[in-house]
Amino acid sequence: MYKGRDFIGKPLVCYESGEKFDKIEDLIFDQNSNQLLGFLVNESKWFSSTQILLLKDVQVIGPDAVITPSKSTVVAAKEIPAIHYVMERNNILNGTRILTVDGHDLGIIVDLYFDEKTGQVEGYEVSGGLFADTYSGRSFVPALQTLKIGRDVAFVPTQTAQLMEEQVGGIRGAMQTVTDKVQETAQGTGDKVQELTEQVVHAVAGFTVEQAQGRRSQQFVRAKEGSIITAPGQIVTELIIKQAKVTGKEKELLEAVGLTTQGAMQNQAGQFMTEAGARLKSTGENTGETLQSGAKGLWSQIKDSAKEIQEMGTEAIEKKRIQGALGRAVNRVILDQQDDVILNVGELITHQAIASARQAQVLELLLSSVYTDKPNLTLEDMRAPHAGRDAL
């Protein structure tokens, strides 16, 4: 998906001639279909002179320009009845307040996010409201269906607010489950507390990109071509995790929800150990010492395991990146610390090259220099210089 305001001021480039010939001035949004229809290119106070570019006529959306097949794709708005109708209605999206049908204020619309292929609006950036971020004051409202836009407010279903709530998962879920069990078994022995401790450590060991699901993203995660995988304030879904895997952005997604560094893990564990401690205190003085001891053991094991778990996650991501790089060419010269060439531009990444780069402490540079575009090559160009050992 893309963010609407990112397009305002972006130049239009004609593929036919390679010429920059205009720029985008605004978005054309249809509230009935909840869809972005196109872009306002040259707005005039006289509707008959207004020029537009339909989304379906865009050839490529790039990070620095929008490419069209030819200049003729920019047409007069009056020639497109659907556009004429929308612009006559004068849809005003920016500055509209969103309320759920049961009266919860979700904030004021400042931007929208849309699918670049269909134009379907996937969500709104809003200022203020029930879920506003403490620092930025913004949040992400998912677009479940068409907005019912009135003169002052737009209405969305009640379940929209429910989808904006961060879901319990990962360490948070494990800690809450265990502290519940500790309270239930407050009359138990130290052995039971130890058993619960082991359950938490086991749960934390499953720390993968899937743990991002249900959490709120704190920053943009973008694919290489610039499309947005997740936006600030957006709750991470299964589809977002799938997109992160396809684009190799698992690490960035984990960072966006605060789940990669040892400090983040310890902070979260510490937060919920405080909750656990409060529950333990309420169980009474007779069992307090036993449970306090168990809680300390629980915290100690999580703290000791945090670094190991972080390394496990990092190793898994690195292994996947290596698998994706093997057999592909590099797009830059890879040098070791003595400036000896490990791989030249266009040479294939091999297991030996991976080992050499690791030894020279330039593995990250190598993995960040993989040529991923689709090359225009013949079959012969793609062959290795010698026959495969196991070929027929």
pLDDT digits (tens, 9 = 90+) for 352-373: 999 999 999 999 889 888 887 6
**Lowest-confidence range among 36-45, 208-217, 246-255?**
36-45
Q: Are 214 and 168 in contact (CB under 8 A)?
A: yes
Do the domains 97-163 and 2-89 match in fold? yes
Q: What is the pLDDT of residue 205?
A: 41
Spatial separation of the C-alpha atoms in residues 379 and 9, rounded to whole Å: 42
Q: What share of the chain is helix, strand, coil (3-state, %, to 5)?
A: 40, 20, 40
Mean pLDDT to the nearest integer, 148-154? 78
Give the residue extent of every domain in the chain: 2-89, 97-163, 170-207+259-316, 326-392
Q: Which of 84-93, 113-122, 174-183, 290-299 has the highest mean pLDDT?
A: 113-122
DSSP lists the bridge partners of residue 253 as none
Helix (H, G, I), strand (E, B) or coil at 20: strand
**Backbone angles phi and psi of 168, in degrees to 5:** -75, 130
Sign of CA dihedral 120, 125, 126, 131: positive
CA atoms of 314 and 208, how far apart (whole Å): 9
Homologous superfamily of the 2-89 domain (CATH): PRC-barrel domain (2.30.30.240)
Residue 235: which residues within 8 A CB-CB, separation 6 or more?
140, 142, 163, 164, 165, 166, 167, 214, 215, 216, 217
Architecture of domain 97-163: Roll (2.30)
Contact status, residue 343 vs residue 349, Cβ threshold 8 Å? yes
pTM of structure: 0.56
Looking at the predicted structure, is the pLDDT value of residue 170 above 50?
Answer: no
**For residue 343, pLDDT beyond 90:** yes
